[in-house]
Structure 1
Amino acid sequence: MLSIPASRPNAYTGSPLDRASGRREDAEFIAAALAAPEALFVPVWRSRSLMRGVEEGRPEALLLTPGAAEAVRMAGGPWAFLGLWDGRPVFAVDCSATEDPLPLLPEGFGGFADLRAVAGLLPAGEASILAHARGLMHWRTRHRFCGVCGGPCEPRSAGNAMACAACGAQHFPRTDPAVIMLVTDGARALLGHSTRFPNSTMYSTLAGFVEPGESLEEAVRREVMEEAGIEVGAVHYHSSQPWPFPASIMLGFHAEALSHDITIDPEELRDARWFSRDEIRNHERHGFGLPRADSIARRLIEDWLESA
């Protein structure tokens, strides 16, 4: 099996930010950035992002100027420095403690929506920044106490780290690696119907988290064997996709099947089948759906279809 290159970037990649990680400890720089009239703020409310045009199918990310963000910042939620966008400092700010955040914003200033529902319609840079803010604020709101001693934690590195006030332990945002793979036997691809989507007709690639002490290739082979009973040989990297929903990165692969008889794990899959290219291209006619357009799963499938 030849390696199949990624045809185009995945959703949530292509961030325009210079993360400027070397400036996070510079208190004077961060204070000046917060006060800069050109600063931008990315509000997050209960894992939702501020946008307008969602209902019309023309979503646009809304980043707030300091004046527009003042009431949101005064709500007292966590904040963090994300980086520089063409020299303009960009911050994430969480307003989840507020029951209704819209009165904190200028009138008619959009609303909060699930980023995953519209990411495929947003410009790549906007989707990436919103995903960055969402993932970091999720971590901040759920790591207020030390996992070592249980003491309260305080923000460090302009909100990109936490330090325990009791024992001094340092805590950093966690990203969980997950492998996602399209297994093929040359003419057919293996797709599964997950137990997580019982009311859907979607068949998708297999996926799972990497375990401690395991290589990515080993994780691909283990997950496919566990979920579908298929032995995998060659494994080829395709691309990656940040997936901060809440804290993962998807590592995509194409994998070669060495066996063909499927034995599913009923706790993971309701069904798994081999599909031809024709069946996948005409999936609606054959009575099943494919993964969402902004997912790396869909990209793995589409690039395999086009490789023939």
Structure 2
Amino acid sequence: MSASSCRVPKAVPRSDGMNNITPSRPNAYTGSPLDRASHLRTDVGWVEDTLADPTTQFVPIWRGRNYFGTAEDGTPTAVFPGGLSVEGFGWAFLGNAGGVSTFAVDLSPAEDPLPLVPTGGEFNELRTIGAGLPREQAAILAHARGLMHWRSRHKFCGLCGAACQPHAAGNVMACTQCNTHHFPRTDPAVIMLVTRGDKALLGHSARFPNSVMYSTLAGFVEPGESLEEAVAREVLEESGVAVTNVRYHSSQPWPFPGSIMLGFYAEGLTEEIILDDDELTDARWFTRDEMKNAKANGFALPRADSIARRLIEDWLAV
């Protein structure tokens, strides 16, 4: 596909109200209460004292899973225990809130992490629970999960291959050979709801955990590409549909494993779908009525904690 075919066509006036859509509420995994206090990360004395402070709270991670307990009403809740030992485990300073410091600690080397944390909880996948958590809890858990996943994938220098050691309270990996500093990486990805009149374009991927789920199209931003160009290219490559009037909606950290999802709306200029079989197994134009009654029409919308669902819901509300 030529580069010129992926450029965003010149915007044209709209009459469907799409230009006026604003986020109806914050996205999941946003709104962390923590002040990241980056100026404290290199204060070794402060970090050591704070790790030993009994008021310090920890966010345990075990093999990509967060630690949860049960609230009084029986629903899952995040547990941030104090008094954990970080000896022999990877850890990182996340930030401060209300006079309390918070650190992530990765217990993955332990075959059984439960004896290391308070009794009564369990390690579980954040994606299965995140939608039901208070926003502030979910944001802290996502921060810890994303940062420690990055740490686990950057043990060696990408420049010379030597081993790296944590620096700046675990927020930087420094090469022990060439002293190159490697900073946490977040991959930008565009995610977009393409509309055409009273219909919206949704696709199904074989990678989806739900066999009947249809979601907005999405893809990673490539080097030398604007976000708007990425939207147009990904939609054209995956579905064969050309778009215009690309409009930003909102963003969402997505630590599964380490992306920032940049949400957009776009207007379809064409309707014929030409599938890229490597990306999608199916794509369809759905009407508003069909999407408001997805289950009755034999399909499912994306998960409630996703920006994909937020894009759909805010469009349906116009």
Which bin holds the TM-score, normalised by the shorter protein?
over 0.9
1:91 corresponding residue in structure 2? 103
Q: Which amino acid aligns with 2:296?
A: R
Instruction: Assess, with a 3 A threshold, how the Cα gap between structure 1 residues 299 and 199 changes in structure 2: closer, same or farther.
Output: closer
Tell me how far apart the structure 1 counterparts of residues 297 and 141 of structure 2 sit (CA, whole Å): 36
How far has the Cα of 1:198 moved from its partner? 7.7
Instruction: Assess, with a 3 A threshold, how the Cα gap between structure 1 residues 117 and 172 changes in structure 2: closer, same or farther.
Output: same
* Structure 2 residue 114 is matched with structure 1 residue 102: yes
- The list of structure 1 runs, each at least 4 consecutive aligned residues, that deviate by more than 2 angstroms after superposition, is 105-108
Q: Which amino acid aligns with 1:63?
A: F
Candidates 264, 269, 284, aligned match of 2:275 = 264
* Paired residues of 1:3 and 1:236 also in contact (CA < 8 A): no
Q: Which amino acid aligns with 1:152?
A: A
Structure 2 residue runs of 5 or longer lacking an equivalent are 1-13
Tell me how far apart the structure 2 counterparts of residues 134 and 143 of structure 1 sit (CA, whole Å): 15
How far has the Cα of 1:42 moved from its partner? 0.7
Structure 1 residue runs of 5 or longer lacking an equivalent are none
Candidates 229, 246, 250, aligned match of 1:235 = 246
Candidates 118, 121, 143, aligned match of 2:129 = 118
Local SS of the residue matching 2:300: coil
Q: Which amino acid aligns with 1:96?
A: S
Q: Map 1:195-274 to 2 at 5 A.
A: 195-197=206-208, 200-274=211-285
Tell me how far apart the structure 2 counterparts of residues 227 and 150 of structure 1 sit (CA, whole Å): 36
* Paired residues of 1:203 and 1:290 also in contact (CA < 8 A): yes
* Structure 2 residue 159 is matched with structure 1 residue 148: yes
How far has the Cα of 1:23 moved from its partner? 1.3
How far has the Cα of 1:3 moved from its partner? 3.7
> Any idea what the Cα deviations from partners look like across 1:251-297, whole Å, max 9, x if unmatched?
00011111111111011111111111000001111100100000000
1:38 corresponding residue in structure 2? 55
TM-score norm. by structure 1 comes to 0.95
Local SS of the residue matching 1:31: helix
Tell me how far apart the structure 1 counterparts of residues 40 and 209 of structure 2 sit (CA, whole Å): 47
How far has the Cα of 1:141 moved from its partner? 1.5
How far has the Cα of 1:34 moved from its partner? 1.2
How far has the Cα of 1:31 moved from its partner? 1.8
How far has the Cα of 1:53 moved from its partner? 2.6
* Paired residues of 1:6 and 1:238 also in contact (CA < 8 A): yes
Which one is further off, 188-197 or 122-131?
A: 188-197
Q: Map 1:167-178 to 2 at 5 A.
A: 167-178=178-189
Tell me how far apart the structure 2 counterparts of residues 122 and 300 of structure 1 sit (CA, whole Å): 20
Candidates 87, 92, 101, aligned match of 1:80 = 92
1:62 corresponding residue in structure 2? 79
* Structure 2 residue 41 is matched with structure 1 residue 24: yes
Local SS of the residue matching 1:304: helix
Tell me how far apart the structure 2 counterparts of residues 207 and 225 of structure 1 sit (CA, whole Å): 11
How far has the Cα of 1:57 moved from its partner? 6.1
> Any idea what the Cα deviations from partners look like across 1:216-236, whole Å, max 9, x if unmatched?
000000000000000001101
What is the Cα-based RMSD across aligned positions, in Å? 1.3
> Any idea what the Cα deviations from partners look like across 1:170-217, whole Å, max 9, x if unmatched?
101100000000000121100111121386100110000000000000
How far has the Cα of 1:30 moved from its partner? 1.3
* Paired residues of 2:213 and 2:300 also in contact (CA < 8 A): yes
TM-score norm. by structure 2 comes to 0.92
Instruction: Assess, with a 3 A threshold, how the Cα gap between structure 1 residues 57 and 229 changes in structure 2: closer, same or farther.
Output: farther
The percent identity for this pair of structures is 63
* Paired residues of 1:3 and 1:254 also in contact (CA < 8 A): no
> Any idea what the Cα deviations from partners look like across 1:46-92, whole Å, max 9, x if unmatched?
010000139x86110000111xx13xx23x11100000021211000
Candidates 125, 131, 138, aligned match of 2:142 = 131
* Paired residues of 1:151 and 1:165 also in contact (CA < 8 A): yes
1:50 corresponding residue in structure 2? 67
